[in-house]
Amino acid sequence: MTSVAPVAAAPGGSTSKDSIPKGGAAGRPSVAAWLVAVPFLAFVGTFLVYPTVLVLLGAFQDSNGAFTLDNLTTLFKGVYFDSFVRSIELSALTALIGAIFGALLTWAISVGNPDGMLRRVVVAGSGVLAQFGGVPLAFAFLATVGFEGLVTKFLRDNVGIDLFAGSAWLFELPGLTLVYTFFQIPLMVIVFLPALDGLRPQWREANASLGGTSWTYWRHVGGPILTPPFLGALLLLFANAFSAYATAAALVSQGSPIVPLQIRGFLTGEVVLGQENLGKALGLGMVIVVSIAMGVNVLLQRRVAKWVR
């Protein structure tokens, strides 16, 4: 999960690795030196590593703790398999929408004044929606296009369109897709802005002085440079939507169309006897999908880092 945009060098250019002395100077650390790291390692070991291991191992255990692959094979059947398919569809679709509109919005603020108010407001607002949206986002959505929402009422009273004529789409997959764009587009802005800031004005000038047009600039310069960060951001958005829980949980109280809501079912007690560890298997499945997206992203950025310097 390194920066998605290696083209934007950090000011001062010092990354964490340059400034760390390679052992030597301080000599071999004594036992006392290692002790300083103990509180941190003990804490992270207890509250991060232990729960993670519990989930990953539990996925391979039956209710008596014996090894089994039943939990994992169940993932490929019926409702569980369907929920993975729907989760992946939802994440891919909203990642694509978020990436495209987010990239356009990023471009629109990147050509403006870098210290301007517009940019500050958009970046801060994006930060809020991308990371801290959660439950408030679900309520924002209800206030807007819920049964009694502002837009719903306006359309019903003044235009004669009933948003809910077809079905309660708001509380199903189409509704989730719509509300997810409210954190996917902002996340794209945050992730993609450093890449656009990395485009140097000189490149555009060079293109123009050699007789190039806007089209040739984007086709031969901007496009190729921005493609890897764009793809990286796309993967990150996918992982983000796939992991998201709060908004969906606040919106959908019945049924479990997507994996995180399936896991909620296991935690809140609708557990069938003998399937106690199925929730952990679902968790393992999620970790695998997210890790693949993140892993491909890291490989992608590593390749880019090689030839950008």
Partner 1 sequence: MGSLVKQRVLRTVILLILGVYFILPLIAMAEFSTRGKNNTRSLESWTAIVDDDGLMEALTNSLLLSVTSAVLMLVLLVPTMAWIRLRLPQLQRLVEFLCLLPLAIPAIVLVVGMAPLYAWVNYFLGDSPLTLTFAYTILVLPFAYRAVDAGLAAIDLKTLAEAARSLGASWFTVLWKVVVPNIRVALIGASLLSVALVLGEFTIASLLNFDTLQVQVNLLGKRNAGVSIAVSLLSLLFAFVLLFALSYVGQRRRQTVAEEEIPLGSN
Region 51-90 residues binding partner 1, contact defined as CB under 8 A: 51-55, 58
- Rank residues 225 and 248 by Cβ distance to partner 1 and give the closer one: 248
Q: Which token pair is 189?
A: 């802005």
Q: CA triplet 181, 182, 186: central angle to 5 degrees?
A: 95
Is 112 or 274 the residue whose CB approaches partner 1 more closely?
A: 112
Specify burial of residue 256 (Cβ count, 10 A radius: 0-12, 13-18, 19+).
Answer: buried
User: From CA 165, how far away is CA 195, in angstroms rounded?
Assistant: 43
The reply to whether 123 sits near partner 1 by the rule CB under 8 A is yes
Please report, as a single letter, which amino acid is at residue 146: G
| Span near partner 1 by CB under 8 A; candidates 63-71, 155-163, 222-230, 241-249 | 241-249
The number of angstroms, rounded, from the C-alpha of 216 to the middle of its chain's C-alpha atoms is 32
Helix (H) / strand (E) element for 92: namely: helix 78-110
For residues 186-225, which are near partner 1 according to CB under 8 A?
186-187, 190-191, 193-194, 197, 213-214
Beta bridge partners of 67: 61
> Taking CB under 8 A as the criterion, which residues in 2-61 touch partner 1?
3-5, 8, 10-12, 14-16, 19-23, 25-26, 29, 33-34, 36-37, 39-41, 43-44, 46-55, 58
> Of 20 and 165, which has the nearer Cβ to partner 1?
20
Site for partner 1 (CB under 8 A): which residue of 199, 226, 263, 304?
Answer: 263
- Tell me the number of residues near partner 1 by CB under 8 A: 115
CA-wise closest residue to 285 among 244, 240, 250, 242? 242
Tell me how far, at minimum, the Cβ of 256 lies from partner 1, in Å: 12
Instruction: Give the nearer residue to partner 1 in terms of CB position, either 68 or 198.
Output: 198
Helix H or strand E encompassing 241: helix 223-243
Question: Site residues for partner 1, window 271-300 (CB under 8 A)?
Answer: 279-280, 283, 286-287, 290-291, 294
